[in-house]
Each structure stands twice: as structure tokens, then as C-alpha cells.
Amino acid sequence: MVKKERQRYLLFKIIKENNISFNEQDLLKSIWQSIWRYFGMKEASKIGLWLLELDLKKEFGIIRFSHETNEMIISALTLVKEIKGFAVILSPIKSSGTIKKINQLKNIIIK
């Protein structure tokens, strides 16, 4: 019997200049490049990264990943310095084992 892999969720803030525009693919490409650059392909294969929500107006996002790679994801996010040639900061706020807690926190912090 195969054990179901546990997931973690991470709420992060996007700090950028107001006139910068990018999409989900641009964000994911930058995160994956950071993961590959700093951790390599072997570690990247363990992550199981999914972008669940991205709101550029309110400047936040939520990603899902394997619970074993929590520190790796947080490090990779903080090491992203640019998207499409524009300077950005992806600042992790909180990680949780349930999407419900992340959504509750999102509703409190992000208005």
C-alpha cells in the first residue's frame, strides 16, 4: 500500500513596483529556476510544486508542495530576485498543513 504524500501550503507576499506585470507562468518559471540553481534537479524532483492562487493586485500568492521540502521552498522563494527582468521580492508569510488555515490567515492579513 502506497502512503499518501502529505502536503504543505505557503502564503507569500509579492513586493514589486506598481507598474510591473507578470503572470502565473512567469512566477512559476522564476521559482523553478531558483530551485534548480540552488538545490539541483535531484532535489527539485521531490517538491511537487503547485501554484494555487496568485493575486497581483493584493500582492500575494499561495503554493502547495511536499511537506518534506518546506525549508527548500522557503529558501527558493527568498532567493528569487527578478521576474521577467524586473526586481521583485517573494516574502514567505506562513506555511501550514491545511489550506483552511492559510485562507483564514490570508483573510486577516491581506485586505
CATH number, domain containing residue 75? 3.30.70.3250
Q: For residue range 50-101, what is the model confidence (pLDDT) as tens digits?
A: 999 999 889 999 999 999 999 999 999 999 999 988 899 999 999 999 999 9
1 occurs within a structural domain: no
Average pLDDT, whole number, for the chain? Answer: 91
Most confidently modeled range among 4-8, 43-47, 72-76: 72-76
d(CA 25, CA 29): 6
Q: How far out from the chain centre does Cα 67 lie?
A: 13
β-pairing, 86-96 vs 82-83, is: antiparallel
- Domain range enclosing 12: 7-109
2 occurs within a structural domain: no
pLDDT range class, residue 111, cuts 50, 70, 90: low
Count the domains in the chain.
Answer: 1
The verdict on pTM exceeding 0.85 is: yes
